[in-house]
Chains A and B, each alone.
Chain A
């Protein structure tokens, strides 16, 4: 029993148990809706990891939500709730598209310029929200929700503007190919590339049938960098100090106002970066008329809270989340399960993984029972 208790207090058990409970509840939902849960989970896993190209797609789909996740996590560590990641992401896509369409520099210049403009877009929106909070004390949740809609309609405005609208479509013009960040993007479509790949079916699949791009690696580097800034630098220390206790931070000579603006600027920049990488890395390489929020920022919030708002933790969390979303589509395809049921399933699993207290709770229960038993046996509870 003591072994089990120790196991339950460990990191691995907490997550494993939460996922198992999540799967169990999801299975009940599936059974209640009249579907085979085992076959559903099997379809989900094969849909997400069944082929090299599916795994590639999981990583591609994890890229934006990893970055928006890091954005939310970073802001949360500094005492701010960045619900505006969605809008910052959208503004990142908009600015990256505008610059990518209008500029056509050689690739080594074009890619950084396009990416930086996306970062600038998100950062500006984030900094604006931070400034409103620092200067006027307006809560960042309210302003950033409003900014989400401003970015949303700005996106639709740009799509429909004469300069950027692609005729007979619902999208803007795609960015110039020199902005693309796909790995071996032009080589894989060339004759030499096709010939080389003909002999390697799996690599051919991964390269030709997905938008394999450098985004995930960059996103991981960002997560590591942000984690390092938060825990190992003076800047990170100050930002966290403001988050922990504003008054104490001010008392010790830290400028609370500028740190709030700076924090939101960085958080916004990360989300904007996610948007810019989506434009340069994945088709259709442009923005389209939005009918509803696409959810990159909101999924990022789920990722951040699954990860307990640790930037590094966002890496596995984003992969899991992307696998659930992407694999979930295969459940629909294979078994005809409506997407609503799949969304409930995903929601349940996320819900339980986001409850880190479950396993320690069971550990406490076991401890209580052991102590009660030991008392009853008349032996003293102590270290054996």
Chain B
């Protein structure tokens, strides 16, 4: 009896396959054809596709912002846009490849986890245009545009706010994993603190630590609690999910915190002590670069570093927890960065040089 049912069940899967294939072939021949023909003729000839990393399109971060930028171009330019979500690391290559097959004008890869994959696929398809958020263009491929952000610029502005708001004279920073990208946040932030010290004759000190994780909220929380115990009363993070632990610790201890990438005060209304956020406007960057690549004003093959001047970074608009004069001073500072009057350091050496020049 056992053997009988085993063999019968073992056939199920095989039959499932057959039935699926049959069921779809019926519709496939006509519907599939009509679909692609219709979409080609309907709108314009520009088609943008983005591949998300494993965070998915509703990650409340890069992927979601990038998709918002894509939707904006769909509405404004009538371009065709679509996305493919990656569930596992091994999906990056196959998803990028599918976007190429679909005839996309520009294929976007979101997130630096996809960097290797997009470089490989760009090499395989020299006639297709690729762009990547936070990826790198390893050997100057002409069909790949790598977009990164001057994270130090908004970090400078929030560093200034932190120093102005701190009563204890100590501010803290938590990074995800140590890399050049995250260090840009750290040193930009410290530079902002130094600037405020110089301007107001204060001597606010800073300390920073890395959580060795972008996901471990518990670790971010415990590091934050340690820093709060040390006397820090304003905390900034660039640690993704681990940083959410920091926001929570600050909320528990009624200590001010500063969000990152998106307006986290709006994103996490339950954390009431978020005073501002350093923004990466991935949406603006996607629009700027896509438009530039399509109309030819941006040449492919570059590694673009976008900042305040490109509206690719910013300061959160909500500022109801900040005194008006502090917010306005920070905005003025940001405008000075935008105008190029302040060049924000993004590394340890650059910070040292900057502090000397103050």
Q: Which A residues have a C-beta under 8 Å from some C-beta of B?
A: 11-12, 14-16, 18-20, 23, 36, 38-39, 41-47, 49, 51, 53, 57, 61, 156, 160, 167-171, 208-211, 278, 282-284, 288-289, 291-292, 294-295, 303, 306-310, 312-321, 323-326, 329-330, 332-334, 336, 338-339, 349, 353, 356
Contact = CB atoms under 8 A, between A and B. Distances in A.
Contacts of A41: 23-24, 27-28
A315 B120 CA distance: 31
Contacts of B112: 169-170
A44 B90 contact: no
Interface stretch (B14-22, B259-267, B345-353): B14-22
Contacts of A294: 87-89
B37 interface: no
Interface residues of B, number: 63
Nearest to B81: A336
Nearest to B94: A57
B113 A209 contact: no
B358 interface: no
A47 B98 CA distance: 8
Interface in B1-58: 5-21, 23-25, 27-28, 31-32, 35, 49, 54-57
B15 A329 contact: no
A4 to B, nearest CB: 17
Given A47-B98, A49-B21, A11 B7 contact: yes
B19 A15 contact: yes
Nearest to B102: A333
A16 B15 contact: yes
Interface stretch (B173-181, B193-201, B281-289): B173-181
B312 to A, nearest CB: 20
A304 B10 CA distance: 9
A282 B18 CA distance: 27
A334 B81 CA distance: 10
Contacts of B54: 291-292
Given A41-B27, A167-B179, A310-B7, A20 B85 contact: no
Of A36, A278, A315, A334, chain B has the most CB atoms within 10 Å of the CB of A334
A267 B56 CA distance: 32
A306 B124 contact: no
B97 interface: yes
Contacts of B16: 15-16, 18-19, 306, 316-317, 320, 349, 353
A353 B18 CA distance: 12
Interface of B is mostly: helix
Contacts of B335: none
B178 to A, nearest CB: 9
Interface of A is mostly: helix
B8 A356 contact: yes
B94 A356 contact: no
Contacts of A23: 19-20, 23
B83 interface: yes
B124 A208 contact: yes
Given A14-B8, A167-B179, A313-B7, 6 more contacts: A36-B31, A42-B24, A46-B24, A284-B117, A324-B20, A356-B8
B175 to A, nearest CB: 13
Contact of A339 (B85, B90, B180): B85
Of A16, A306, A319, chain B has the most CB atoms within 10 Å of the CB of A16
B215 interface: yes
B12 A278 contact: no
A35 B99 CA distance: 21
Of B90, B93, B99, B116, chain A has the most CB atoms within 10 Å of the CB of B90
B115 A313 contact: no
Contacts of A43: 32, 35
A329 B35 contact: no
Nearest to A15: B15
A15 B17 CA distance: 9
28 contacts: A11-B12, A15-B12, A15-B14, A16-B18, A38-B27, A41-B24, A41-B28, A42-B32, A53-B97, A57-B94, A169-B112, A169-B179, A171-B89, A278-B90, A283-B93, A283-B116, A291-B55, A292-B54, A306-B13, A308-B12, A313-B7, A316-B11, A316-B17, A323-B17, A329-B91, A336-B82, A353-B12, A353-B13
Given A170-B113, A170-B177, A313-B10, A42 B82 contact: no
Given A41-B27, A333-B98, A339-B85, A12 B90 contact: no
Interface in B78-113: 82-85, 87-91, 93-95, 97-99, 101-102, 112-113
Nearest to A153: B216
Contacts of A15: 11-16, 19
Contacts of B82: 332-334, 336
Nearest to B215: A291
B240 to A, nearest CB: 9
A159 to B, nearest CB: 10
Contact of B83 (A14, A57, A313, A333): A333
B11 A11 contact: yes
A339 B32 CA distance: 20
